[in-house]
């Protein structure tokens, strides 16, 4: 097997990867060079011929890369990254148990926040589905260069929506809960092996390790669900 592999990962998966990778390295003796980035930037790098062995990205990003021949074989679903509502730490906890309850919370808020990354794209789509997009547009504070929870903790938005894995570490903000189960409430992350690494046993071993019981324990610990 190769002594080292290169892995590209969406930034939202940082907390999972920095804990899961050492488990793999100790068990296999293979070193992993991790590179994090925004999903669309990583897509552009891969399309431009970036050298890598494995990519961990939202499934909506992985599938076109497979179709384009940039990734080999069938992708492996790894993480369901739940999207949740975040509020200031000392604010009353709103009810978001149902889609209707969430709509009431968003309409009552003077300002909301979400990102322009994968969870932000999911939230934007969700607002369209709920019929809230036009009225939310006027009071949205986008989180650019920081997390939604940081925007909320700074008092720049009353509530926000982002992947829970990115909400939990932020002081001054509190996770109200996952978006209601009667809505699509997660971003699916999948792993794919680069076409140039199709014969790389180390890359395939790494992808398999991402769905091991040990990796699943890490996934749950950081606030997500195994796929």
* Residue 147's CATH number: 3.40.190.10
**116 and 43 within one domain:** no
Torsion, Cα of 154, 155, 158, 164 (10° steps): 10
Number of structural domains (the chain) is 2
Residue 95's SS3 state is coil
**87 and 62 within one domain:** no
**111 and 89 within one domain:** yes
| φ/ψ of residue 142, rounded to 5 | -75, 140
Q: What pLDDT is recorded for position 1?
A: 60
**100 and 40 within one domain:** no
List the domain range (segments joined by +) for residue 90: 81-178
- Helix, strand, coil share of the chain (percent; to 5): 40, 30, 30
Indicate whether 132 belongs to any domain.
yes
**202 and 166 within one domain:** no
Distance CA 4, CA 87 (A): 41
Indicate whether 125 belongs to any domain.
yes
**161 and 89 within one domain:** yes
Distance CA 227, CA 224 (A): 9
- Using only the alpha carbons of the chain, give its radius of gyration: 18
**128 and 59 within one domain:** no
Distance CA 116, CA 97 (A): 25
**165 and 146 within one domain:** yes
Indicate whether 183 belongs to any domain.
no
Indicate whether 192 belongs to any domain.
yes
Instruction: Look up residue 110 and give its DSSP letter.
Output: S
**95 and 73 within one domain:** no
Going by C-alpha positions, the residue among 105, 109, 86 that lies closest to residue 96 is 105
In this prediction, the residues of the chain whose per-residue pLDDT falls under 50 are none
């Amino acid at each position: 097997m190769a002594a080292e592999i290169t892995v590209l990962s969406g930034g939202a998966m940082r907390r999972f990867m920095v804990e899961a990778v050492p488990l793999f390295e100790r068990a296999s003796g293979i070193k992993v060079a991790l590179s994090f980035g925004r999903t669309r930037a990583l897509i552009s790098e891969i399309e431009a011929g970036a050298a890598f062995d494995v990519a961990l990205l939202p499934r909506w990003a992985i599938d076109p890369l497979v179709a384009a021949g940039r990734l080999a074989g069938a992708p492996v679903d790894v993480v369901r990254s739940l999207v949740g509502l975040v509020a200031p730490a000392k604010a009353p906890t709103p009810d978001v148990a149902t889609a209707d309850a969430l709509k009431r919370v968003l309409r009552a808020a003077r300002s909301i926040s979400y990102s322009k990354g994968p969870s932000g794209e999911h939230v934007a789509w969700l607002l369209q589905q709920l019929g809230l997009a036009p009225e939310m547009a006027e009071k949205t504070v986008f989180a650019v260069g920081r997390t939604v929870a940081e925007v909320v903790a700074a008092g720049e938005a009353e509530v926000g929506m982002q992947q829970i894995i990115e909400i939990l570490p932020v002081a001054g903000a509190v996770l109200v809960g996952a978006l209601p189960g009667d809505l699509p409430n997660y971003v699916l992350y999948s792993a794919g092996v680069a076409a140039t690494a199709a014969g790389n046993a180390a890359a395939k071993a790494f992808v398999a390790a991402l769905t091991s019981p040990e990796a699943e324990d890490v996934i749950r610990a950081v606030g997500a669900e195994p796929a």
